Structure 1
Amino acid sequence: MQSTVNYLWHTDDLLGQGATASVYKARNKKSGELVAVKVFNTASYLRPREVQVREFEVLRKLNHQNIVKLFAVEETGGSRQKVLVMEYCSSGSLLSVLESPENAFGLPEEEFLVVLRCVARVNTLSGSKDRLPPKVSPRHEAVPGQRTSSPLSAVAGMNHLRENGIVHRDIKPGNILRLLGEEGQSIYKLTDFGAARELDDDEKFVSVYGTEEYLHPDMYERAVLRKPQQKTFGVTVDLWSIGVTLYHAATGSLPFIPYGGPRRNKEMMYRITTEKPAGAIAGTQKQENGPLEWSYTLPVTCRLSLGLQSQLVPILANILEVEQAKCWGFDQFFAETSDILQRVVVHVFSLSQAVLHHVYIHAHNTIAIFLEAVYEQTRVAPQHQKFLFEGHFWVLEPNLSAQHIAHTTASSPLTLLSTASETPMGLAFKDPAQDIPKFFPKVDLQADYTTAKSVLGAGYQALWLARTLLAGQELMLRGLHWCVETLQATCRRTLEVTRMALLFLSSSLGTESSVAGMTEMQELKKVTELRSRLRALAEALSRCSHSITESQTSLSNLRSELLKNRDQVHADRSVQQIQYCLDKMNLIYKQFKKSRMRPGLGYNEEQIHKLDKVNFSRLAKRLLLQLFQETCVQKYQTSLVTHGRWMREVHETRNHLRMVSCSVAAYNTEAQGAQEGLSQILDRVSHQLLQDRTKEAQVSPPLTAPYPSPALTDLVLQMQELCEEMKLLAFDLQDNNRVIEGLSWPPSAPDS
């Protein structure tokens, strides 16, 4: 046990160890509160006095939620070694998070944004006063009308930290600690300010600190390659370290990897970082003495959405620049990262492509900007975009604020409808089983641990993919179900109006005999022509009714298939089976992790170790080959083929209903013409009858009040009723056309 006046710790409770100090978990003697104590060793006192006290001075100046707090500076009782008493972060570091097999291919999007937010807050320390000319981010050019955030509007605490003008000089995942908040959320805090120092405007430094994989190439050349050079370093060296750290967090691997690894091939490591083309964010050498391969995008295994990647990649490209004149300054970096963090995410599922998109926009943007952002990711033009949300059409007025967009989630997105009948792309992914190592027959504790870790990481990636593929199938079926429901509603409404029209026409045809009987000359011919037109209209509407009934039957059959498939998706247990295998594999992995720290195993322990390797391999084969490849992937690929067939059927039905709508519109014109003809005949007959009765009254006045004959009265009433019914028919047909146009998708774009 060791102690200071107020704190007590055991040397077994080691949290971390460096060249000049060790960090232990300790307790306050009075309250029992857990803290971390940094105890400096003998080597630390060989440094200049100003270097020894620099960390104390830096930490005393800083007070921010994303920086580990300094509680006290004390001394041990016997050796009087300096001890920093600091905030204890119980959940390890960002490096330990990334070292976990669950994150072998990078952090989930939500967790990455937490890291980005914390890094954006704390790393304002690194360059408070640099004034490099700002560059315009390409993504601001891509979205017209979008405003660039000012550094003054960045996250809370930025201005306070920038005023301190400090360069950290050792930014890496291992120096970003993780703490769980009261609600279970991650809080990341920057620590280890042993290399930090204050830096004024345009001031340079010559001393070299840091971890080589995260070092700026100019510092790497002198510190790692030991080459003499007269270069000085500015605050932007921290930006390079931030870029490498963010790439590592997003992908689970380092951006620059020579053949054999960074530590084994240092000359090639330096060459990769210095020869990197502009815009490239990663470089690898896959063969010994082989060519360098450059990447301008994040790998397909990355879990970040393409929407976030499109925002992040330009930032990485502009801070992973060797030449300081080309590298962004901190003002530009924090403006761009703050711009991302201030955006809201709208989840959009493209039904025709079967792809879920994350669209990052500002709440103050207009919906027109949102529609343009959707076009950038889906290539569906704004005029051809129509959205469903929770089964209902969601009308988006371009001039309104984006705040009017519904609150979406990955499981409840906006469903994008498009007129393009295209083959569904689905999720693009890499099979996790590719390139995974195999166990060597011989027992090698370190090699076995490394192999188990890689395979387990592939297993967790398969679990994430299996969940994503299953969720994609659910979204496909749900979106199609809503489309079918919409088309069925259109069919019912159209069929109802068509049948009403037929009823009206039947009644109008039944009155024509009496009309013909009362019209002896020219009117008889006109009524006959009208009767022929009405009969043709009735026959055409009958055909429409039959066609709509057939569409209803087809849609009902499709709906039954969709419900059956949704039941099958809900009954799928492959994700649970993969999780079961992972739990079993994880137990073996933890044992391997514990065993690798031992010098060797006894005979019985070695036999158990061999059996564990066999069981681990068997579980991995079942997980990656049987459950993932042969079950999840095959079901997903089959669902994409079926989805494409169903989408074509829906498109055909939609186009057919559009044709019926056009026909009904034409028949509506015919009905209006017939109604006008009947009105004219009624007017003429009524006028002629009135004239005849007037003449009769003038020639021989009746002894009693004149009354029209029953036949004449019936005729006039029938004609009036017929005219009213034809007016109702015309109104209903017009209303039906408006309904069909409202429920139908936008007209197809012309072939290009």
Structure 2
Amino acid sequence: MQSTVNYLWHTDDLLGQGATASVYKARNKKSGELVAVKVFNTASYLRPREVQVREFEVLRKLNHQNIIKLFAVEEMGGSRQKVLVMEYCSSGSLLSVLESPENAFGLPEDEFLVVLRCVVAGMNHLRENGIVHRDIKPGNIMRLVGEEGQSIYKLTDFGAARELDDDEKFVSVYGTEEYLHPDMYERAVLRKPQQKAFGVAVDLWSIGVTLYHAATGSLPFVPFGGPRRNKEIMYRITTEKPAGAIAGTQRLENGPLEWSYTLPITCQLSLGLQSQLVPILANILEVEQAKCWGFDQFFAETSDILQRVVVHVFSLPQAVMHHVYIHAHNTIAIFLEAVYKQTNVAPQHQEYLFEGHLCVLEPSLSAQHIAHTTASSPLTLFSMVSETPKGLAFRDPALDIPKFVPKVDLQADYNTAKGVLGAGYQALRLAQALLAGQELMLRGLHWFVTVAGVPEIQELKRAAELRSKLRTLAEVLSRCSHNITETKMTLSNLSSELMKNRDQVHADRSIQQIQCCLDKMYLIYKQFKKSRMRPGLGYNEEQIHKLDKVNFSHLAKRLLQVFQEERVQKYQASLVTHGKRMRVVHETRNHLRLVGCSVAACNTEAQGAQESLSKILDWLSHQLLQDRTKGAQASPPPTAPYPSPALKDLVLHMQELCKEMKVLASDLQDNNRVIEGLSRVPSAPDI
């Protein structure tokens, strides 16, 4: 066991270890709170004094939810070694998340967006405080699980951090080689002498490698045999990478370098998100500092992604789920164009269903009017142009299953088992996606067949539904009218009672009676005040004084009697009555609000029904006119699936519905006026 004044830990509880320090899980001696303590070793004290204290100073300067918190700086008793007491993250690091077999091919989209949001927010705080981290990697991004089960990622390990403005440079080398900027890699790993100075862009390169790793489960730059076995090729890949490429690999020993401009097909991120992310990766994974984005542009572009909302669209023509990322303030026209880019279905050919109902998207409206979608409840896209469904594109997981070596090699066997398990999880995800796609295909097509079928059948069905709706509205309106009548009577009775009580209050004379007693008492008081200045009173004056004393007492008694019986008791009784009346008023108002909501809902439904009726009537009239025109021109008349007499009857039926609709609308307007009048009735006054 080791300890400081306030914290205690066991050396077995090691969380991580570096060249200059070890991190342990510790507890507060008094509260038992779990913390992480960073204990510096002997090698750390060989560094210059300013380097030793730099991490303390940087952490004290920072305060952000996506940066690990520093609680205290203490010393171990005997050795006087410095100990940083920091926030403990029980869920490990982003690296430990990525090393889990289920994330062998990268994080799910939702989790990746959480990582992106947290890293961007934490880095933004660093830049606002003029700090360069110099060792960004998944192992230095800790994961905490919030109260609602959501991940919170925090930047940690500021041992290499220092203050550096955007236009400043540094020459010292820090970091982990797979995530190092190529210029730093050349000097730190290859040990080649060069006089280059480094700027804040080194953090951007590390962020790019980290985000690629999080999105795919793999490093972007991999020579044959791995980054640490073939360092020269590693350097070549990063420095010879063409503009726009985001990854490079060497698959064969001494083989050619292969470049990738997209994320691998095994990645779990949707094409919609990939189209937003890839340009960012391409522009921060640039070796030449003149071509590499600065932090301002990086923050602007990543914030643009994080501020977007996703609309799930299942394309029936392709049988593919799409994630369309748009801003809530964008118009639907922009959304339709974004769908076109992903599906190749032109906006004028796009038709949508949502939850089995036709969904008409007006291009001029805001995208906020689009229904809230999920992967299991997407917008279903139908194209008026026929095409062959291509289905979900994927890589067969069997191609990614490694084989065990014949001999017993514990490390190799572990790695193989991990790879097989990772491919197994990928197969499970693909199976789930394929099954969900099959369900969405069947469901979506069924909806379009039933909803977008023969127009006449649909209009007749709508007419029947509208008649049923009108009857329901009429019943609701009748109940509302009855409720409104009862409410009017209740409020009228209460108003009459209040007016009567107000008249009684105005007729109350208790205040005047008390004032009269006080006036008389004041006169006696003045006489007493005057008498006290005299040396003595004569007999008669003394008798009058005695009578005044008796009268004064009687007046005081009368005043208190009037106060208690006429004011206090009546007031307390009125409080009880007032409470009852207030309850009546509140109940009545609440009831009135419910009635008002019902009437408003009826009004809205009635308006919608009236508009639908008008549209149906116009459509049927147009159909009837077409039938007449065809009948006049054709001899003999062609056989129609729905002859003119049926259309005539339907038109008459719809005209009757319109008449009923007008009567209902008139009643609704009357009820609205009554409710508006009742809503202005004030609550009972305190009396």
Q: Same fold (TM over 0.5)?
A: yes
- The runs of 5 or more residues in structure 2 that have no matched partner are 463-620, 635-643, 656-687
Looking at structure 2, the residues matched to 496 and 333 of structure 1 have their Cα atoms a distance apart, in angstroms, of 55
C-alpha change, 1:318 and 1:733, in structure 2 (3 Å) is farther
Per the alignment, residue 629 of structure 2 pairs with 669
How far 1:436 moved relative to its partner? Answer: 2.1
Per the alignment, residue 102 of structure 1 pairs with 102
Looking at structure 2, the residues matched to 727 and 111 of structure 1 have their Cα atoms a distance apart, in angstroms, of 56
Residue identity in the other structure for 1:728: K
How far 1:487 moved relative to its partner? Answer: 4.2
Cα pair 2:122 2:155 within 8 Å, conserved: yes
Per the alignment, residue 227 of structure 2 pairs with 262
Cα pair 2:21 2:44 within 8 Å, conserved: yes
Per the alignment, residue 624 of structure 1 pairs with none
Cα pair 1:668 1:734 within 8 Å, conserved: no
Per the alignment, residue 424 of structure 1 pairs with 389
Equivalent residues in 2 for 1:194-343, closer than 5 Å: 194-343=159-308
Cα pair 1:98 1:107 within 8 Å, conserved: yes
**Moved >6 Å (runs of 4+):** 494-497, 661-665, 724-727, 732-735
SS in 1 for 2:399: coil
Equivalent residues in 2 for 1:133-532, closer than 5 Å: 158=125, 161-488=126-453, 490=455, 492-493=457-458
Looking at structure 1, the residues matched to 349 and 24 of structure 2 have their Cα atoms a distance apart, in angstroms, of 61
What is the CA deviation profile of residues 340-394 of structure 1, one whole-angstrom value per residue up to 9, with x for unaligned ones? 0000000001011100000000000011101110100011111111110001111
- The answer on 1:43 being equivalent to 2:8 is no
SS in 1 for 2:397: coil
Cα pair 2:624 2:648 within 8 Å, conserved: no
Per the alignment, residue 728 of structure 1 pairs with 648
SS in 2 for 1:85: strand
C-alpha change, 1:494 and 1:362, in structure 2 (3 Å) is closer
Per the alignment, residue 13 of structure 2 pairs with 13
How far 1:162 moved relative to its partner? Answer: 3.2
Looking at structure 1, the residues matched to 647 and 94 of structure 2 have their Cα atoms a distance apart, in angstroms, of 74
Looking at structure 1, the residues matched to 289 and 625 of structure 2 have their Cα atoms a distance apart, in angstroms, of 68
How far 1:329 moved relative to its partner? Answer: 0.3
How far 1:420 moved relative to its partner? Answer: 1.8
SS in 2 for 1:433: helix
Per the alignment, residue 88 of structure 1 pairs with 88
Residue identity in the other structure for 2:213: H
Per the alignment, residue 59 of structure 1 pairs with 59
What is the CA deviation profile of residues 535-568 of structure 1, one whole-angstrom value per residue up to 9, with x for unaligned ones? xxxxxxxxxxxxxxxxxxxxxxxxxxxxxxxxxx
Per the alignment, residue 547 of structure 1 pairs with none
SS in 1 for 2:398: coil
Per the alignment, residue 145 of structure 1 pairs with none
Looking at structure 1, the residues matched to 310 and 367 of structure 2 have their Cα atoms a distance apart, in angstroms, of 11
Looking at structure 1, the residues matched to 212 and 419 of structure 2 have their Cα atoms a distance apart, in angstroms, of 19
Per the alignment, residue 521 of structure 1 pairs with none
Looking at structure 2, the residues matched to 486 and 727 of structure 1 have their Cα atoms a distance apart, in angstroms, of 21
SS in 1 for 2:324: strand
How far 1:315 moved relative to its partner? Answer: 0.2
What is the CA deviation profile of residues 580-612 of structure 1, one whole-angstrom value per residue up to 9, with x for unaligned ones? xxxxxxxxxxxxxxxxxxxxxxxxxxxxxxxxx
C-alpha change, 1:364 and 1:495, in structure 2 (3 Å) is closer
Aligned residues: 489
Looking at structure 2, the residues matched to 473 and 289 of structure 1 have their Cα atoms a distance apart, in angstroms, of 45
Cα pair 1:26 1:37 within 8 Å, conserved: yes
What is the CA deviation profile of residues 442-463 of structure 1, one whole-angstrom value per residue up to 9, with x for unaligned ones? 2211111011000000001111
Looking at structure 2, the residues matched to 435 and 467 of structure 1 have their Cα atoms a distance apart, in angstroms, of 18
Equivalent residues in 2 for 1:563-602, closer than 5 Å: none
- The runs of 5 or more residues in structure 1 that have no matched partner are 125-157, 498-660, 675-723, 736-752
Aligned sequence identity (%): 84
Task: For CA contacts below 8 A with separation 6 or more, give which structure has more relative contact order.
Answer: 1
Cα pair 1:28 1:34 within 8 Å, conserved: yes
Cα pair 1:671 1:726 within 8 Å, conserved: no
Q: TM-score, normalised by structure 2?
A: 0.69
Looking at structure 1, the residues matched to 649 and 254 of structure 2 have their Cα atoms a distance apart, in angstroms, of 82
Cα pair 1:672 1:727 within 8 Å, conserved: no
How far 1:242 moved relative to its partner? Answer: 0.2
How far 1:734 moved relative to its partner? Answer: 12
Residue identity in the other structure for 1:470: L
How far 1:484 moved relative to its partner? Answer: 1.7
Q: TM-score, normalised by structure 1?
A: 0.63
Cα pair 1:171 1:238 within 8 Å, conserved: yes
What is the CA deviation profile of residues 678-719 of structure 1, one whole-angstrom value per residue up to 9, with x for unaligned ones? xxxxxxxxxxxxxxxxxxxxxxxxxxxxxxxxxxxxxxxxxx
Looking at structure 1, the residues matched to 94 and 70 of structure 2 have their Cα atoms a distance apart, in angstroms, of 20
Residue identity in the other structure for 1:670: K
C-alpha change, 1:398 and 1:69, in structure 2 (3 Å) is same
SS in 2 for 1:88: coil
Looking at structure 2, the residues matched to 11 and 207 of structure 1 have their Cα atoms a distance apart, in angstroms, of 32
How far 1:726 moved relative to its partner? Answer: 10
Residue identity in the other structure for 1:196: A
Cα pair 1:73 1:82 within 8 Å, conserved: yes
Residue identity in the other structure for 1:254: L
Residue identity in the other structure for 1:29: K
Per the alignment, residue 530 of structure 1 pairs with none
How far 1:732 moved relative to its partner? Answer: 7.8
Looking at structure 2, the residues matched to 378 and 308 of structure 1 have their Cα atoms a distance apart, in angstroms, of 15
Looking at structure 2, the residues matched to 205 and 269 of structure 1 have their Cα atoms a distance apart, in angstroms, of 24
C-alpha change, 1:75 and 1:494, in structure 2 (3 Å) is closer
C-alpha change, 1:493 and 1:336, in structure 2 (3 Å) is closer
How far 1:163 moved relative to its partner? Answer: 2.8
Residue identity in the other structure for 2:36: A
Larger Rg: 2
Cα pair 1:15 1:24 within 8 Å, conserved: yes
Cα pair 1:671 1:729 within 8 Å, conserved: no
How far 1:486 moved relative to its partner? Answer: 1.6
Looking at structure 1, the residues matched to 80 and 262 of structure 2 have their Cα atoms a distance apart, in angstroms, of 52
Looking at structure 2, the residues matched to 16 and 730 of structure 1 have their Cα atoms a distance apart, in angstroms, of 79
How far 1:301 moved relative to its partner? Answer: 0.2
What is the CA deviation profile of residues 130-179 of structure 1, one whole-angstrom value per residue up to 9, with x for unaligned ones? xxxxxxxxxxxxxxxxxxxxxxxxxxxx5xx4331000000000000000
How far 1:440 moved relative to its partner? Answer: 2.2
Cα pair 2:166 2:199 within 8 Å, conserved: no
How far 1:86 moved relative to its partner? Answer: 0.1
Per the alignment, residue 685 of structure 1 pairs with none
